[in-house]
Amino acid sequence: MTIVSPHNKLPSARAVKLTAPLEDIYQIINDDGAVIIKNFLPLELVDKINKEADPYLAQHAAGPNHMSEIYKLTVGAKTKHMGNLIMVSKSFREEVLNHPLIHAISEKLFRANFGDYWVNRAAVLEVHSGEKAQSLHRDDSLYPWKPFLGTDSPELMVNFFIALTEFREENGATRLVLGSHNWEDSNRYPSPKQTIPAEMQAGDAVVYVASLFHGAGQNRSQETRRGLSISMHPAHFTPMESHVDVPRAIIETMTPLAQRMIGWRTWSTNHGVPVWTIRDGRMEDELKLKSLESSKPV
């Protein structure tokens, strides 16, 4: 479904049901760079995640978590970025991390060219009242070799941004530059007038590729806007967040798939070569790792 944004007369991001065929979802992502998936998480699960995150966010400082200059440019002084979700949220590690559509889309984007994939970073992002609009950016700038790739190179990352509260233009909904992932001029930079807000109800998700220009909007309301961001990329690439410190007792309550998503299992290239091994054996075997279910290929 395509509608016209009432804010600037540009076409809004297309929205589909959770039950939409994967090929339809993939085609929209390929064409527009982003798609909104309605009711991505049930409200009961959204409520659980919010309750699990609340006490940690209350203690979490707003603004950049470190002093990288580029990071300071993209994280506002009134925005909280809270990672460590494996430890913080049982609902995240047991339910969200096993979401079938997260894996169906990631498989479609990465399997043929790269093989297995895993989590780059997962975080709760909370934009407070009075926050300025974030600078427009592409997340694939994380990869220093990106400028050397051609315009027809495969996507390197996909983001699943789940609304934990309502996302509206007034409270800083993420702004998207639809189609910018297909721009041939790598030096082209968008104007704010080319953006549209990804307006969503709690439980909806906007899925967008990392080559798409986007940025959090200005929060002109008196509300706090909260979302759950999960970025996935090929397992060839080092994640932003490490999970080596997660207690094994927690790891062993997770599914084999979820364990692999955070680097606790060996993964394979698109040619079937095992990577991330221990003593030439699979990590899970060498560690005698238990899981929530029997170890089957994932």
pLDDT tops 80 at residue 74: no
Structural domain contains residue 173: yes
Structural domain contains residue 259: no
Least confident stretch, 109-118, 136-145, 268-277:
136-145
Q: What is the CATH number of the domain that holds 168?
A: 2.60.120.620
Count: domains in the chain: 1
**Residues in CB range of 174: below 8 A, 6 or more apart:** 161, 167, 197, 198, 206, 214, 215, 216, 217, 227
Structural domain contains residue 289: no
- 293, two tokens: 């279910």
Q: Which of the four pLDDT bands, split at 50, 70 and 90, describes residue 64?
A: confident
d(CA 168, CA 35): 16
Structural domain contains residue 8: no
At 223-243, the pLDDT tens digits run 999 999 999 999 999 999 999
Least confident stretch, 6-20, 63-77, 193-207, 263-277:
63-77
The pLDDT value recorded for residue 297 is 38
Contact in structure between 156 and 234 (CB atoms under 8 Å)? yes
pTM value?
A: 0.93
Structural domain contains residue 126: yes
At 167-195, the pLDDT tens digits run 999 999 999 999 999 998 878 899 999 99
Backbone angles phi, psi at 161, to 5 degrees: -110, 110
Structural domain contains residue 257: no
Residue 114: give the domain boundaries.
15-143+151-242
Exposure pattern of 14-26 as b/e (b: 16+ CB <10 Å)? bbbebeeeeeebb
Structural domain contains residue 47: yes
d(CA 44, CA 52): 13
pLDDT tops 80 at residue 73: no
Structural domain contains residue 266: no
